[in-house]
């Protein structure tokens, strides 16, 4: 079959690498892709939110299946757009419709969903401009630290952890009254702070059946030792040693099953990925957030551990027979180190030539923010390359991924040298 993959980051590079290995994939197209995805298929110059452009690409390339990488087109209704159009209605889209994507698109929706289905999560309450005074009072009675979350998509920036009441009240005002995060903060969820260690759990579902993909740990802070500003993610490791069988059983029983069943009970059709951001609080799982897609840089560590034909699993999601598909997971350890541009996560350098990727021997180099300038690969994004090593033991995987980044060069590059070493 011909497959169209939407997106242009490291996640999409890892998807493309895996899809291209499938005998079921005749031709792979990536829109818009990056300088690396061209190794696995054909890049198309179409933006992920250009639905008409995507429709044209689907028709002209005889696409049989569309896999959506990032959340934005899902929240904006790309799946619904396909279903409403007679010419592309029968092309399956992997990724939920707009209503299901609200699990990520609205924190208030996801908190209410969890409450309705008794899914463990931090206590919370939602406020708007009209209920600002109530919100300020609520903060005064809440413990510290306290977490403020913009309801809508805010490019990963909409969550604030406040250490004092004064700070929390000032931030609440600024989010609700001064649109600190634009429209996204017209509603704010105030949430209890959870103490624990985080991990990302990934579920693939056809709406009735589900498969649990390899879990991963993401390293969000820019600095070594988990210090400094939050980023999209500076590295990842899979599997996660503290997510042992007993913990994962609790996750399946208390979170995954009620989530899939809850969607079904509420008549929210859902075909795609559910990314569950979890806190392990002394062995008890608490949901921090849902995302309606795979994680980045988690996917770069998850895909190499999937031994089965990934396209066959995608077909299972599309056809509603995921229960009949096989998911085999490697026992090996995958570690990913992100190489980022100088200045990231603030304003960062761009258009720097990248050299040395050909010297990497024992890792995959997944391109994230790159483009081709003639024959030269250059940087275009904050997160530039994801270097992933798959090895028999964790120490070797971490060491190899970290060592292989040193073989690559671009002006101003930065990466963390401590990804995963806390897990040893
Ligand atoms: P989110 O966008 O919901 O993933 O939040 C971003 C980050 O904020 C998470 O990855 C956590 O590190 C942190 N966070 C969010 N909610 C909480 C919470 N209730 N308690 C502690 N940390 C949180
Ligand atoms: N790595 C976290 C995310 O993809 O949202």
Q: State the average pLDDT over residues 155-179.
A: 93
Q: For 47-75, how does the pLDDT look when each residue is reduced to its tens digit (9 = 90+)?
A: 999 999 999 999 999 999 999 999 999 99
Q: For 256-276, how does the pLDDT look when each residue is reduced to its tens digit (9 = 90+)?
A: 999 999 999 999 999 999 999
Looking at residue 419, what is its pLDDT? 97
Instruction: Note whether residue 129 is domain-resident.
Output: yes
Question: Is the domain of 72 the same as that of 154?
Answer: no
Reported confidence tier of residue 155, pLDDT bands at 50, 70, 90:
confident
Question: Is the domain of 130 the same as that of 187?
Answer: yes
Instruction: Note whether residue 161 is domain-resident.
Output: yes
Looking at residue 20, what is its pLDDT? 98
Q: Residue 153 belongs to a domain with what CATH number?
A: 3.30.1490.20
Closest-CA residue, ligand 2 atom 2, reads: 295
Question: Is the domain of 75 the same as that of 161?
Answer: no
Instruction: Note whether residue 138 is domain-resident.
Output: yes
Q: How many CB atoms lie within 10 A of CB 84?
A: 10
Percent of the chain residues topping a pLDDT of 90 = 98
Instruction: Note whether residue 21 is domain-resident.
Output: yes
Reported confidence tier of residue 326, pLDDT bands at 50, 70, 90:
very high
Helix (H) or strand (E) holding 246: helix 245-251
* Sheet architecture: strand order including 146-150: 124-128, 187-192, 146-150, 159-162
Strands 235-238 and 217-218: antiparallel
Domain count, the chain: 2
Asked if residue 156 has pLDDT above 80, the reply is no
Average pLDDT, the chain: 97
- The residue whose CB lies within 8 Å of the most ligand 1 atoms, and thus the one to mutate among 289, 293, 298, is 289
Tell which of 149, 169, 192 closes a domain. Answer: 192
Looking at residue 157, what is its pLDDT? 82
Instruction: Note whether residue 335 is domain-resident.
Output: no
Question: Is the domain of 73 the same as that of 152?
Answer: no
Q: Residue 63 belongs to a domain with what CATH number?
A: 3.40.50.20
Ligand 2 centroid – CA 299 distance (Å): 9
Instruction: Note whether residue 77 is domain-resident.
Output: yes
**Which three-class secondary structure state does DSSP give residue 281?**
strand
Give the predicted TM-score (pTM) of the model. 0.97
Asked if residue 171 has pLDDT above 80, the reply is yes
Look-up: residue for tokens 């964790």?
394
Instruction: Note whether residue 13 is domain-resident.
Output: yes
Ligand 1 centroid – CA 148 distance (Å): 9
Residue 140: give the domain boundaries: 123-192
Instruction: Note whether residue 56 is domain-resident.
Output: yes
Asked if residue 327 has pLDDT above 90, the reply is yes
Distance from chain centroid for Cα 224: 22
Looking at residue 7, what is its pLDDT? 98
């Amino acid at each position: 079959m011909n497959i169209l993959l939407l997106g242009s980051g490291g996640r999409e590079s890892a998807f493309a690498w895996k899809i291209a290995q499938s005998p079921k994939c005749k031709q792979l197209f990536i829109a818009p892709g990056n300088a690396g995805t061209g190794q696995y298929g054909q890049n198309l110059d179409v933006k992920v939110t250009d639905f008409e452009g995507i429709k044209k690409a689907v028709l002209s390339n005889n696409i049989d299946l569309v896999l959506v990488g990032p959340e934005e087109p899902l929240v904006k209704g790309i799946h619904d757009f396909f279903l409403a159009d007679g010419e592309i209605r029968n092309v399956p889209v992997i990724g939920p419709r707009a209503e299901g994507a609200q699990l990520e698109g609205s924190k208030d929706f996801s908190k209410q969903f969890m409450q309705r289905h008794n899914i463990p999560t931090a206590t919370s309450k939602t406020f708007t401009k009209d209920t600002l005074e109530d919100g300020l009072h609520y903060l005064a009675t809440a413990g510290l630290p306290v977490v403020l979350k913009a309801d809508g998509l805010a490019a990963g920036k909409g969550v604030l952890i406040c250490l004092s009441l004064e700070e929390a009240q000032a931030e609440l005002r600024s989010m609700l009254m001064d649109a600190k995060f634009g429209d996204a903060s017209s509603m704010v969820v105030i949430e209890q702070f959870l103490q624990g260690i985080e991990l990302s759990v990934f579920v693939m579902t056809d709406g009735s059946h589900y498969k649990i993909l390899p879990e991963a740990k993401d390293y969000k802070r820019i600095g070594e030792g988990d210090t400094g500003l939050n980023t999209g993610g500076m590295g990842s490791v899979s599997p996660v040693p503290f997510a042992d069988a007993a913990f994962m059983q609790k996750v399946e029983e208390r979170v995954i099953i009620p989530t899939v069943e809850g969607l079904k009970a509420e008549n929210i059709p859902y075909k795609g990925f559910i990314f569950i951001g979890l806190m392990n609080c002394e062995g008890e799982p608490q949901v921090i957030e849902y995302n309606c897609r795979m994680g980045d840089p988690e996917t770069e560590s998850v895909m190499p551990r999937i031994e089965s034909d990934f396209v066959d699993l995608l077909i299972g999601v599309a056809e509603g027979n995921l229960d009949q598909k096989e998911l085999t997971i490697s026992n090996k350890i995958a570690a990913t180190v992100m190489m980022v541009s100088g200045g990231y996560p603030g304003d960062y350098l761009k258009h720097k030539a990248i050299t040395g990727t050909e010297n990497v021997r024992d890792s995959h180099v997944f391109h994230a923010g790159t483009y081709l300038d003639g024959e030269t690969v250059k940087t275009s994004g904050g997160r530039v390359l994801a270097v992933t090593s798959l090895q028999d033991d964790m120490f070797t995987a971490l060491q190899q991924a970290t060592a292989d980044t040193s073989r690559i060069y671009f002006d101003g590059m930065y990466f963390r040298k401590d990804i995963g070493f806390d897990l040893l």
